[in-house]
Structure 1
Amino acid sequence: MGFMTHCLRPRHAASAVAAAAVLATTLLAAPAMAQERLAPAAGSSRATLTDGTQPVVVVTLGSVKKLMDDVSYLAEITSQPQLAMFPMLAATFTQGMDMDQPIGMLVPLVGGAPQPIVVLPTKDIRPILKRLEAQTGPVDELDDGTLVLTVNQNMLYIKQNANNAVAAQNQAALALAPEDAGDLFQGMGNNYNVAIRLQVQQVPVEIRNILIDQLRQGFEQTMAQQPDAASGREVAENSIAQLERLVQEADELNIGLNIDKANKQVALDLSFTAVGGTQLAAVYGGQQSIPSRFASVIRDDAAAYLHSATSISPEAITQAKDGIQTSLSMIKGALENEGNLTEDQVNEIDQYINRLSDIVTESLSEGKADMGALVMAGRDEFKAVIGTFVADGNKVAELAKDLATKVPDSPDAPKFKFDIGNFSGVTMHLIEADVPASEDEVRKLFGDKIQVHIGTAPKAVYVAAGRGSEELLKEFITSGSSDNGGDRPLGQFKMKLLPFMELAQSVEANDNVAAMINALTNSEDKGEVNVTTKSIPNGSAMKLTIGEGLIRSIGAAAMAGRQAQQPF
């Protein structure tokens, strides 16, 4: 008996269906392996310090007024009244500051060491320090007007600099701050509550090399402690090489968090760029939006959808292929060292893994990734459909058929039906599994049978599940020829929490879920989460937004939980 047959002895039907789902998920997720994971978005700045250099790190906080307003809004939508104390505390310690200007910190390298410089928007720092004297102690003044105080046994130097006060632990660093630091805060400041910019190329090459050496040293120490170091070494070395490229070729990373009361959402922006002309920049430069066969998943009535359609650069393809081969070597090494498998069993597993790898590699070689996923949900409703581009859908069908032969023919095993029809050039297949009577919650979702519909076309694979999913799948297939591209993000994800909560409540009632449904029903956005990625010169940008409705629903659930714990 082959190993695959041994593994698939029925314990219950759901396990085999899960295996089929893993295979489908691997195919659908594979195109993303060709793209780097970093993403991001705040405005770039090439302003300099007074010595002509740029800070390695810039950090900004929104103005005191913005922070007070936004935290008050957050306290209200989260039902956390303790947050409302922040404006009162802030007002106590910020008298004398310009309430409309952002607070910043510049971190240049001075003598090879980082020297943070705090920039406070105030025309006169002295009254502020006087008011804090009980906490900080008396303030001394040097001959040049620099103020000095001791905080936790550390000397802090402060100097008035036009409409700002600057503070640093290194007195010489104060002179590096320009009178107007606004250009250094470009794209940050009041655009966000908190924003961070890291300019990697401002770190000297020597220091970056030290970092890489430390990473390698840590890698060697970790590998030496592993019982099976050989099988994982190639993967780890490949990871170290990618980290080295990242450290040497990265240009700028931006992160910004904004509590956006006007648009009733919390937003996180990320942006990453590589140095122009580098291999890393070429990877990002190859990412451009393309027409999609699966764009119909982008619809307003969806409970959730995920879509991505992008070109892939030759550099990214090569990198992804190398990563796949390295991973295969590691998997094979792990199987050989398992000890419980015969050589024939290892070879059998290796054969299937290599076939799947070939499908993924051939798809990547065509230089594009295109996929879409859609979930429709609500009270007593759940159905989902996924589609992805592949170089040869017939090879996927052949692999699935061969795997199906390894499933023993027993009453509780899933039933595979291949080539049962053709719809618009897509060959249809079906996997069915009985749901045990004891699985009441699963039966409420899927009925007494779980049906997974699979479609294979020359250049696509489709999977659908849930009651009514066959019609949804056919609609999805039919709409594939209607996309004309257009200005679209590289990738986008959208989810509404309300339909999922309604689904959960219909399966099993819960007071906390009921509280969330009530809050979501009364909200404008119904608990919306959005993620978009787009291409920028030499880099990528991502934006995550969380709607007010979702935040209010979490607060409502927390309040319901607290009330349930209170004695009557």
Structure 2
Amino acid sequence: MRRVRMICCLAAATAWLAGTDSLAAQAQQAPVVVVSFSGYDEVLADVAHVGKLAGNEALGTMLEAALARGLQGGGLAGLDKKRPWGAVVQTDGAGFSWYVFVPVSDLGALLNALTPRLGKPTEASPGVWKLEPKPGQAIFVRQKGTGWAVGAPSAEVLQAVADDPLPALADLPKTYDLAVRVNIRNIPAAVREQFLFPFRMILSQRALRREGETEQQFRLRDRMTRQSLQRLVTLANELDWVQVGLNIDRQASRGWLEYQLVGAEGTATAEELHLEKEPKTDFAGFVIPGATLSLSASSAYSQTQIRRAEDQLDGLRQRALAELKRQGLPVPVLRQGTQIINELADIMKATIAQGRVDMGLSLMTGQNGIALVAGTRVAEAEKVDKLFRGLARQAVKDGLASEDAIQLDSHQHGGVSFHTIRLSLPADVPPQVRRLTGDPLNVVLGAGQQAAYLAVGPKAVELLNQAMDRSRAEAGKPTLPMTVVVAVGPLAQLVTTVGQAPANQMVQTLADMLSRSEGKDHLTITTRSIPHGSSVHIEFEEDLLKVLGALPTLAAGMVPPGP
């Protein structure tokens, strides 16, 4: 997320600087920000499709009416509604400029339609029209090539734009309804440094030692602060481009949002962003079709990523130990808690050092309650098992659980010994939650064969055994670096069951709207490798498009029936 926020800030800073037309228009220009819009008819058809799904067939008409009102009734006469639009912020290395282009069938008619918003056009020179939306603010427009209206802040910039500006958008309008691409490498170094300056100031202030902080904690935090700054500097200097796009596929009745990060070829950032093209997993059986939530992750890490993760883990360890000390616990309890935190952190650090993550997880919900099953690769699995056993014995010793509630070595499967824990729920747990989880709550834990396993639910043992068997049968199965699938309706229903009104009112509305969904309410997030970078694809199915189409109705305070 930090990476995405940084790029967005860079894009915003660039767009702001674009307001200063300080470049020499005839110099070699490099695009910094490219905005693509697939076309008026295409987007309006998508909006109408979403509205139709939601039972709001007038949504497209409402959008057109709102646009007409915004133009004070002028409409968009003269616009070619079938072709894409675009906007470009560019630089010659010394300054910034911009231009926009839209397809036209009649430039004069379009300029007249836009007069209420952009002012009355005056002819600045033959074929060049000048608009003044505000005093002192000018836009120069002329028609170029085969029906392109091009606008720019000066006649010189306008003259330099190609007669056919569409190639500036590359394939963006064919792939997305709306897309933005920021070419980080084309931003002048001085501008990137101006962007970094406030971060340098903030991080330098954080480097001061805090009250009550030990020397070890201070050194660790100072190192992480310096690494954070260096990370920002590296990204600003080594990212090639970032791209965000949104599209509605009417034929498949689905929508998707995608963002891509690409490092400059030959840089450490490009190597780090480039994920395995087709990683393999040994936990495929833990991703269960039809689950309310499933997660699969399998990827190798670079040495830089390993070092960063180890530093972050050290920070978490120090914060956890510091919080434990602040609890004012008896010395024996404090000593035991410290040992548990250190042992757990050591296991996680050894796993990170192996340079690979591989895991699978599924959460099931329904009338029979909830069930969870998970498996993950770990280093030193025998230490994980030893930790489980120690915690169980201590819980019995401290009176937190009875001997009958904890069964060590309750069963074996696949060469792994498992332990069963039955946890009685506190008296203040609501009845609806008890029905979901069962009381007592049944938990199965185990570690061995370089893996750790967890299952929760009335049939936890059966669920876990089946997942392990499927995983063994599909060992080494090709997968993606990450896949998350969420059945939004059932998950929203789960949240409303365990949540408290009115805080979950919006979730309840969502659950009600999706209550009649026929399995078309999935949100799927996948990551893929692309040359020198990675792509994150977020796809939403038809019933989620229905929710999107119902937003205007919801905003008016009315809740439509479920899908």
| Fold shared, TM-score > 0.5 on shorter chain | yes
What residue in structure 2 maps to residue 268 of structure 1? 257
Q: Residues 131-157 of structure 1, C-alpha deviation per residue, up to 9 Å, x if partnerless?
A: 232443321212353211111221111
**Shift in Å, 1:344:** 8.2
- 8 Å CA contact 2:47, 2:59 repeated in 1: no
What residue in structure 2 maps to residue 292 of structure 1? 281
- 8 Å CA contact 2:30, 2:92 repeated in 1: no
- 8 Å CA contact 2:255, 2:545 repeated in 1: no
What residue in structure 2 maps to residue 429 of structure 1? 419
Question: Residue 142 of structure 1 aligns to which amino acid in structure 2?
Answer: A
Question: Residue 534 of structure 1 aligns to which amino acid in structure 2?
Answer: R
Q: Distance in 2 between matches of 1:64 and 1:411?
A: 69
Q: After the TM superposition, which residues 4-19 of structure 1 pair with which residues of structure 2 at under 5 Å, given as runs?
A: none
**Shift in Å, 1:544:** 0.5
What residue in structure 2 maps to residue 85 of structure 1? 62
Change (3 A) 1:133 1:499: closer
1:376 and 2:370 aligned: no
1:54 and 2:30 aligned: yes
**Shift in Å, 1:376:** 2.2
2:538 to 544, 547, 550: 544
Question: Residue 74 of structure 1 aligns to which amino acid in structure 2?
Answer: V
1:67 to 43, 52, 61: 43
- 8 Å CA contact 1:427, 1:457 repeated in 2: yes
- 8 Å CA contact 2:50, 2:546 repeated in 1: no
Change (3 A) 1:486 1:464: closer
1:132 to 97, 107, 114: 114
Q: Distance in 1 between matches of 2:426 and 2:315?
A: 41
What residue in structure 1 maps to residue 386 of structure 2? 398
Most deviating of 451-460 and 306-315? 306-315
Change (3 A) 1:181 1:191: same
**Shift in Å, 1:343:** 8.7
With the length of structure 2 as denominator, give the TM-score of the two structures. Answer: 0.81
Change (3 A) 1:242 1:342: farther
Q: Distance in 1 between matches of 2:387 and 2:287?
A: 30
Q: After the TM superposition, which residues 132-531 of structure 1 pair with which residues of structure 2 at under 5 Å, given as runs?
A: 132-153=114-135, 154-162=137-145, 163-221=147-205, 230=218, 232-285=221-274, 287-329=276-318, 338=326, 340=328, 349-407=337-395, 409=397, 413=401, 415-436=405-426, 438-439=428-429, 440-483=431-474, 485=476, 487-500=478-491, 520=514, 523-531=517-525
Q: Residues 544-566 of structure 1, C-alpha deviation per residue, up to 9 Å, x if partnerless?
A: 1111213435777976995689x
Q: Distance in 2 between matches of 1:122 and 1:488?
A: 46
**Shift in Å, 1:464:** 0.7
Q: Distance in 1 between matches of 2:269 and 2:496?
A: 47
- 8 Å CA contact 1:107, 1:115 repeated in 2: yes
- State the SS of the aligned residue for 1:115: strand
Change (3 A) 1:172 1:403: farther
Q: Residues 483-521 of structure 1, C-alpha deviation per residue, up to 9 Å, x if partnerless?
A: 254553211111223444666788899999998678646
- 8 Å CA contact 1:534, 1:542 repeated in 2: yes
Question: Residue 258 of structure 1 aligns to which amino acid in structure 2?
Answer: N
Structure 2, unpaired ranges of 5+: 8-24, 69-73
Most deviating of 106-115 and 446-455? 106-115
Q: Residues 448-481 of structure 1, C-alpha deviation per residue, up to 9 Å, x if partnerless?
A: 2011111211310011111212211111111222
- 8 Å CA contact 2:93, 2:187 repeated in 1: no
What residue in structure 1 maps to residue 71 of structure 2? none
Question: Residue 191 of structure 1 aligns to which amino acid in structure 2?
Answer: T
Most deviating of 266-275 and 484-493? 484-493
- 8 Å CA contact 1:124, 1:160 repeated in 2: no
What residue in structure 1 maps to residue 87 of structure 2? 105
Question: Residue 148 of structure 1 aligns to which amino acid in structure 2?
Answer: K
- State the SS of the aligned residue for 1:277: coil
- 8 Å CA contact 2:255, 2:540 repeated in 1: yes
User: How high is the sequence identity, in percent, across the aligned residues?
Assistant: 24
Structure 1, unpaired ranges of 5+: 1-32, 41-48
Change (3 A) 1:481 1:545: same
**Shift in Å, 1:62:** 1.9
Q: Distance in 1 between matches of 2:331 and 2:194?
A: 44
Q: Distance in 2 between matches of 1:247 and 1:203?
A: 9
- 8 Å CA contact 1:520, 1:526 repeated in 2: no
Q: Residues 2-26 of structure 1, C-alpha deviation per residue, up to 9 Å, x if partnerless?
A: xxxxxxxxxxxxxxxxxxxxxxxxx
**Shift in Å, 1:272:** 0.8
Change (3 A) 1:422 1:486: closer
Most deviating of 551-560 and 283-292? 551-560
**Shift in Å, 1:300:** 3.0
**Greater relative CO, 1 or 2 (CA 8 Å, sep 6+):** 1
Count of aligned pairs? 523
Q: Distance in 1 between matches of 2:334 and 2:426?
A: 33
With the length of structure 1 as denominator, give the TM-score of the two structures. Answer: 0.81
- State the SS of the aligned residue for 1:93: coil
Change (3 A) 1:361 1:74: same
Q: Distance in 2 between matches of 1:377 and 1:407?
A: 29
Question: Residue 127 of structure 1 aligns to which amino acid in structure 2?
Answer: A
- State the SS of the aligned residue for 2:251: coil
Q: Note the aligned Cα RMSD (angstroms).
A: 3.8
Q: Distance in 2 between matches of 1:52 and 1:477?
A: 60
